């Protein structure tokens, strides 16, 4: 990508070292072991989805990210293409802050045994799979039964993810630096369903309930829209706040409310 090399050339001219990973240029995000210890920050070129993949794959490295938006709506990738050089100048002069965003940890249990454990910056979503019919989901919070939803699926989002899929499903917008979990049903088969906001210290368990027809219901759980894990009646996913956080470099000292207003006016 031309912009990648332009950024590398500029940083090199300023006495800095910039490494372009071939995997990134080919659309394959570099794995944690490919990022060397001397790396102080990662520039992510693309949309919010690109930054989400980077945050998940490098969650254990505690390296801050600066998102350069090449997509449409960029809540995470705050730097627009035309402002790249100005942002790099501020980065070199240490004119930035680091904002920590909470992540989710999800543990998927299939047939009573753990099948997958992964983190997510935006959300963990459990959705119907296979036949196009609603699924019965049972919700437990800290080991106590809360409610059941008959719906297409359920979204558990972080504050960062509240402006993503959760918002499209009718969920609330939450300040990104807050610590909480937002549960939002997807197309629920009821007239009185609402999103529920939980403390960041709560643990949520979503279980696939009994199907309304013969045979088990099927669903799929995804982490930030990736890593789909098939599930069926009796399987469940436990979701809680992760000990890992995503560190976002903030160049522009613009409030969340101003960013939100601008994005909503453009959408």
Which are the catalytic amino acids?
A: 48
CA–centroid distance for 210 within its chain: 29
Count how many residues are written for the chain. Answer: 267
CB 151 within 8 A of CB 115: no
Tokens of 144: 């106590």
d(CA 27, CA 105): 25
List the beta strands (DSSP E) in the chain.
42-46, 65-69, 79-80, 97-110, 113-120, 123-128, 135-141, 144-151, 153-157, 180-186, 196-199, 204-208, 218-223, 226-232, 236-250
In the three-class reduction of DSSP (H, G, I as helix; E, B as strand; rest coil), residue 85 is classed as helix
d(CA 69, CA 251): 13
CB 207 within 8 A of CB 234: yes
The alpha helices in the chain, defined as continuous H runs, are 2-13, 22-25, 48-57, 84-92, 165-168, 256-266
C-alpha torsion angle, residues 187, 47, 177, 245 (rounded to 10):
100
């Amino acid at each position: 990508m031309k912009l990648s090399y332009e950024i590398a050339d500029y940083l090199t001219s300023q006495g800095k070292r910039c490494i372009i990973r071939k995997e990134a240029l080919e659309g394959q995000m570099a794995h944690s072991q490919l990022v060397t210890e001397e790396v102080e920050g990662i520039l992510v070129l693309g949309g919010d989805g690109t930054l989400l993949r980077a945050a998940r794959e490098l969650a254990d490295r505690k390296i801050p990210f600066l998102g350069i938006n090449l997509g449409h709506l960029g809540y995470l990738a705050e730097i627009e293409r035309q402002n790249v050089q100005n942002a790099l100048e501020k980065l070199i002069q240490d004119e930035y802050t680091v904002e920590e965003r909470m992540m989710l940890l999800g543990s998927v249990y299939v047939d009573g045994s753990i099948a997958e454990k992964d983190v997510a910056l935006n959300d963990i979503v459990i959705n119907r799979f296979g036949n196009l019919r609603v699924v019965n989901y049972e919700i437990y919070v800290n080991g106590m039964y809360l409610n059941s939803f008959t719906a297409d699926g359920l979204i558990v989002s972080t504050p960062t993810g509240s402006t993503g899929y959760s918002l499209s499903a009718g969920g609330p917008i939450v300040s990104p630096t807050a610590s909480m979990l937002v549960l939002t049903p997807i197309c629920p088969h009821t007239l009185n369903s609402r999103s529920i906001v939980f403390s960041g210290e709560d643990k949520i368990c979503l279980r696939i309930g009994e199907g309304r027809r013969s045979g088990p219901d099927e669903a799929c759980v995804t982490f930030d829209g990736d890593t789909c894990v098939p599930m069926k009646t009796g399987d469940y996913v436990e979701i809680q706040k992760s000990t890992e956080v995503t560190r976002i470099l903030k160049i522009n000292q613009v409030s969340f409310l101003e960013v939100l207003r601008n994005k909503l006016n453009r959408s």
